[in-house]
Structure 1
Amino acid sequence: MASSVNPTVRRRRLGSELRKLREQKGMTAEEVAARLLVSQSKISRLENGRRSISQRDVRDLCGVYGVEDHRIVDSLMQMAKESRQQGWWHAFGDVPYSVYIGLETDAASLRVYESQIVPGLLQTKNYAEAVIAGNLPEATPEQVEKRVHVRLRRQDRVNDPDSPLRLWAVIDEAALRRIVGNHEIMREQLEHLVHLSTLPHVTVQLLPFDSGAHPGLSGQFAILEFSDATDASVVYLEGVTSDLYLEKDTDVHTYSVMYEHLRAQALSAEQTRQFISDVAEEYAG
C-alpha cells in the first residue's frame, strides 16, 4: 500500500510549483540556470520531478523568483524535505524503473495496454519469474528474485482493501499464446487473470488476432491518473535502457484516444473471461 509520503509524487508536485513560480516571473529555464551557474538541464529535471530537489535548491530558486512570502518558502522547503525520503521500493536496492513505481504507488487509476505479456500487476509469481528470467538472460538468480519481489509488492495496490487501484487492462491475444515458462505456468496464470478480472475495480479486455490492425501496434503503454487535481496524468513508455514519461496535455490526450479505440476493438469483459478460460483449458489439456 502507498505510504503517507510518496517521494516521487512530492518531487512532481514541487517541480510543478517551481515551474509556476518561474513562469510568473517571466523567466526561461536558461535564464534561471545562468543566474544560478548551473546547467539548463538541471532546472528542467527539477521542474519535471526527475531529479531530487534539495532544500538549498528551493532556497536558491525562491531567491531568483523573488518569493517573499515565508509561508510559501517554508511549504516548498517541507516538500523538498519529504521528496528526499525513500519509498518502499528503495529497500530492494537499485530498481531501474523506480520513478514509475513511485507514480504507480500513488495513482488512482491505471490504463495499460500490453502486446506481448500479461501486465505485471496481474502476474502470478511463477509467471513473473519466467518473464523476468527470459527478459534478462544474463541476470543472476538473486537479481531475478529481487525483481520478482518488487513486482509482487507492486500488486499490493490491486489488493488494497481500503483504496485499490482502478485498473483497466487491454491485452493482445499474443500474450495468451506465448508460452512463458511451460503449459502449467500458463494455465495457472490465465486462471489467475480470469479471477482478477471479476474484481469490481479490475477490467480486462482481450484484443484478438482477428481484430486486425489497431492503435497499439507500436507497443506497450500505460496511462496513470491521480486523485489530486494538481498531479497531471502521465503516459509511461517502457524502454530497454531508459523509459519515457509524457505529461503534456496533448500527449496524454493522444494516448487516451488510442486507448479508447483499443477498448472499442477488444472483446467485452465477459467475452474476454470466456476466451481466456478456453485458452487455459487448452494448456490444461
Structure 2
Amino acid sequence: MRHMEGEQTPMLRIDNLLREHATRQLVLNDKPPIRYTAILEESVLSRPIGGPMVLQAQLEQLTRLVALPHLTVLVLPSQSGPHQGMDGPFTVCRMQRPNPPVALLDQLAGRAVVEASAAERYDTAFDNLKSLALDPAQSLELITKTAEHIA
C-alpha cells in the first residue's frame, strides 16, 4: 500500500473520524443548550455495527440522552415506506430570523453545505419526516425495548 503526500492513512482517518464524532457529542452539553432533534430509522436500532454489546450501549446512551430537555429523539417506523430521508443523512440548522436554514449533507466525499432555497427543501423534508415518526414517548419505548432484547 502506498501513501501519497497529503493523503491520510486509514488509521489516521479513523482517528480523525472518532475525534470528530466525540467533539460533535459535546454540543449536547453546551450552555445555553441548543435544541436538537434527531430522527432515526427504526432499522438502525437493530444494526449491530461494532457487535451486540456496542449496539446495546449505544441504545442505552440514547435512552439517557432523551432525558435532556433540549434533546428530542424520534424513530421513523419501518412501515413508513419510502421517505425523503432515504437519500442519506442530513442536518438542518435553524437559526434566528432573518437567517434562513442551512442544511449539512454527510456524503462519502465529505460534508456539503446547502443554503438558500435548496436548504429550505431540506427544512420541509425534515418536517415531513417528523410527521411520519413516532412521538417522543413511543420512540423512547421502542428504543428501550430494543436495547432490552439484544443478546
TM-score, normalised with respect to structure 2:
0.85
Give 1:187-266 correspondences, 5 Å limit.
Answer: 187-227=56-96, 229=97, 231-248=99-116, 250-266=117-133
Contact 2:45 2:143 in 1 (8 A): yes
Give 1:105-116 correspondences, 5 Å limit.
Answer: none
Structure 1 residues 156 and 243, CA gap change in structure 2 (3 angstroms): closer
Query: Match for 2:126: what amino acid?
Result: Y
CA drift of 1:145 comes to 2.9
Secondary structure (helix, strand or coil) at the match of 2:69 reads coil
CA distance in 2, matches of 1:246, 1:261: 18
Does residue 139 (structure 1) correspond to residue 10 (structure 2)? The answer is yes
Identity percentage of aligned residues:
28
Give 1:1-285 correspondences, 5 Å limit.
Answer: 139-140=10-11, 142-160=12-30, 162-227=31-96, 229=97, 231-248=99-116, 250-283=117-150, 285=151
CA distances 1:166-193 after superposition (whole Å, capped 9, x unpaired): 1001100121121111111111100100
CA drift of 1:252 comes to 2.3
CA drift of 1:260 comes to 1.2
CA drift of 1:225 comes to 2.3
Q: Report runs of 4+ in structure 1 exceeding 2 Å deviation.
A: 142-147, 229-233
More helix by percentage: 1
CA drift of 1:202 comes to 0.3
More strand by percentage: 2
CA drift of 1:231 comes to 4.6
Query: Match for 1:277: what amino acid?
Result: T
Matched with 2:3 is none
CA drift of 1:153 comes to 2.1
CA drift of 1:150 comes to 2.7
Gaps of 5+ in 2: 1-5
CA distances 1:93-124 after superposition (whole Å, capped 9, x unpaired): x9xxxxxxxxxxxxxxxxxxxxxxxxxxxxxx
TM-score, normalised with respect to structure 1:
0.47
CA distance in 1, matches of 2:128, 2:63: 23
Secondary structure (helix, strand or coil) at the match of 1:243 reads strand
CA distance in 2, matches of 1:149, 1:254: 31
Secondary structure (helix, strand or coil) at the match of 1:222 reads strand
CA distance in 1, matches of 2:48, 2:124: 31
Secondary structure (helix, strand or coil) at the match of 1:184 reads helix
CA distance in 1, matches of 2:36, 2:60: 18
CA drift of 1:230 comes to 6.1
